[in-house]
Chains A and B, each alone.
Chain A
Amino acid sequence: MRVMVMVKATEDSEKGAVAPPEMFEAMGRFNEELVNAGVLLAADGLTPSSKGKRVAFDGASRTVIDGPFAETRELVAGFWLWEVKDMDEAVAWVKRCPNPMPGPSEIEIRPLFDMAEFAETLTPEFKEGRERLREKLSDKLGPAGAFGGLGT
């Protein structure tokens, strides 16, 4: 199963504070262990929310809101995608991660929807519509445009 593993933001990451070399090295070694175990699928860091934007949806209205955003602990600062056997394995790996932040922090683990299990909850019409949408996106944006399985 695939999981998204998210490092949640802290005041330090939101300030754009640069991690000291030992932390980079330790995280680098951890990533190497994940690669060598065949677990790591993808990894990336997010810039502070001051560089981000939000779009609020309400019926037909769309409102653009500039970062930074207030609820620091809920923001995502970095993420991995892992291929693991089960949540137990995911938790075991996360526990080995070096401290991602100078102070206390949280890492959240979320299993991705598996298209097969997702399919069971959808009506045939909805599935068909989703397929057409995927094709349109693929046409407009190229193969990279198809959205992932995070429940969208």
Chain B
Amino acid sequence: MTVGETHQAIEATFRIERARLVAGLARLVRDIDRAEELAQDALVIALSEWPRTGVPANPGAWLMTTAKRRAIDAIRRDKMRERKHEEIARALDGAAEAIEASMTDDPGDELLGLIFTACHPVLSPDARAALTLRVVGGLTTDEIARAFLSSEATIAQRIVRAKKTIGKAGLSFEAPRGAERAARLSSVLEVIYLIFNEGYAATAGDDLVRPSLCLEAQRLGRVLAGLMPEDAEVFGLLALMEIQASRLPARTGPDGAVVPLTEQNRARWDQLLIRRGLDAMARADALGGDGPYALQAALAACHARARTAADTDWPRIAALYDRLRTVAASPVVDLNRAIAHSMAFGPEAGLRLLDEIAAAAALRNYAPLPAARGDFLFRAGRLAEARRQFEAAAKLTRNAREAAFLLARADACG
């Protein structure tokens, strides 16, 4: 034990333990706010005691026990006040016993339960993302607001409403099992990838990328992989994020401008993350991964393995997209497939595929569609048409950097 711990050090330890602490408490009191209050109470006690006694050998267990004892005390105080109401008293007795019994529960399972609850499909994706970043990621409301270019008030409200919705739905904070787990996992993975994408290809604002959001999503993905080591898609998503994140240092030019994948300086790709991504993909493969995230990871790995853009195995990428659209059909996947086919088999092949999907409602205001068409037309030598497409794309994007890039491509059409 170390004595004389500073408050700063104690708070750092608390931050490490916070998510699991809140998870275990939420399982008991079935209320995130109450769980967060109890966690905070435990921190206050730690701040007053640990400078004297030193940090305990197992700080997480100490905090959990302290917080749970306070929960019991509160229940007993309520019970004494409600002494006349026998039913309530019996129910509260049961709750206190449950808490005592839970002292030995598996903290990993509790954290998984919290993750599944914060990502419950009863909440909108935005609400899930904000709540997950808050209670699982430990980000402050302000940090989340800045990450999503929103106001602190908006995010705070979003989180308050999310907690209320969870309360009203009577969710148990248990991790689902069996078929229900498989069904609900997709909404967890969706949230983590949403957070990652907001950092990787910011949909609005002046900066193309916000790396700290990617880091947060990668961390959540790693935590989830530790909690669900038998799930191929969990490793698939992790692999996808690690490999995509490896390209962050190359995605923006010195002035913050967009650099497309085929023009990136690959010497700037983070090889450590590529290795981690390929390792995660190997785990997904070993688990039989053929789901959408595993396939997208395989796509990202194709690029990661190519020393130069010219070395890219585009036919393999086209084949992977052909498979992806059978497991995760979407207009966006179709668009990316068209791009892959154009790179593998020529711009006319891409244009033919685009014609098949151009009517899709989901792609109506989607900048990458005219951008892709513009690229195919440019490469096919149809410059006037290409220019019109790039200009249309520039109007559709909300990201300033992307718009500048598209207008530059329009100019290059002459």
Contacts and interface: CB of A to CB of B under 8 A. Distances in A.
A138 B272 CA distance: 14
Of A35, A131, A138, chain B has the most CB atoms within 10 Å of the CB of: A138
A6 to B, nearest CB: 17
Given A91-B12, A95-B55, 8 more contacts: A41-B276, A88-B12, A89-B12, A92-B9, A92-B16, A134-B268, A138-B307, A146-B267
A35 B226 contact: yes
A144 B271 contact: yes
B251 interface: no
B214 to A, nearest CB: 11
Contact of B219 (A38, A88, A137, A138): A38
Contact of A37 (B16, B215, B269, B307): B16
8 smallest CB-CB distances across A and B, nearest first, come from: A38-B222, A36-B226, A38-B219, A88-B12, A134-B267, A92-B12, A138-B267, A38-B223
Contacts of A3: none
> Which of B12, B13, B227, B268 has most A Cβ within 10 Å?
B12
A143 interface: yes
Interface of A: 32, 35-39, 41-42, 81, 83, 85-86, 88-89, 91-93, 95, 115, 131, 134-135, 137-138, 142-144, 146, 148
B274 A88 contact: no
Interface of B: 2, 8-9, 11-13, 15-16, 55, 108, 215, 218-223, 226-227, 249, 265-269, 271-272, 274, 276, 307
Contacts of A41: 272, 276
Contacts of B267: 131, 134-135, 137-138, 146
Contacts of A134: 265, 267-268
22 contacts: A32-B226, A35-B226, A36-B108, A36-B222, A36-B227, A37-B223, A37-B226, A38-B221, A38-B226, A41-B272, A42-B272, A81-B272, A85-B15, A95-B2, A115-B268, A131-B265, A134-B268, A137-B267, A142-B307, A143-B271, A143-B307, A146-B267
A135 B11 CA distance: 43
Interface of B is mostly: helix
Contacts of B9: 88, 91-92
Contact of B222 (A35, A81, A86): A35
Contacts of A148: 272
A115 B249 contact: yes
A43 B158 CA distance: 40
Nearest to A87: B12
B12 A143 contact: no
B276 A83 contact: no
Given A41-B272, A88-B8, A138 B266 contact: yes
Nearest to A85: B15
A118 to B, nearest CB: 11
Contacts of A88: 8-9, 11-12
A36 B223 contact: yes
Contacts of A143: 266, 269, 271, 274, 307
A146 B271 contact: yes
Nearest to B306: A143
Contacts of B276: 41
A89 B271 contact: no
Contacts of B272: 41-42, 81, 148
Nearest to A139: B307
A136 B147 CA distance: 37
A144 B223 CA distance: 27
Contacts of B222: 35-38
B262 to A, nearest CB: 16
A76 to B, nearest CB: 18
Contact of A135 (B2, B55, B249, B265): B265
Contacts of B220: 38
A112 to B, nearest CB: 11
A152 B272 CA distance: 17
A83 B75 CA distance: 40
A33 to B, nearest CB: 9
Contacts of A36: 108, 222-223, 226-227
Nearest to A134: B267
Nearest to A32: B226
A38 B55 CA distance: 23
A38 B271 CA distance: 18
A32 B108 CA distance: 12
B273 to A, nearest CB: 8
B259 to A, nearest CB: 13
Contacts of A83: 215, 218-219
Nearest to B211: A116
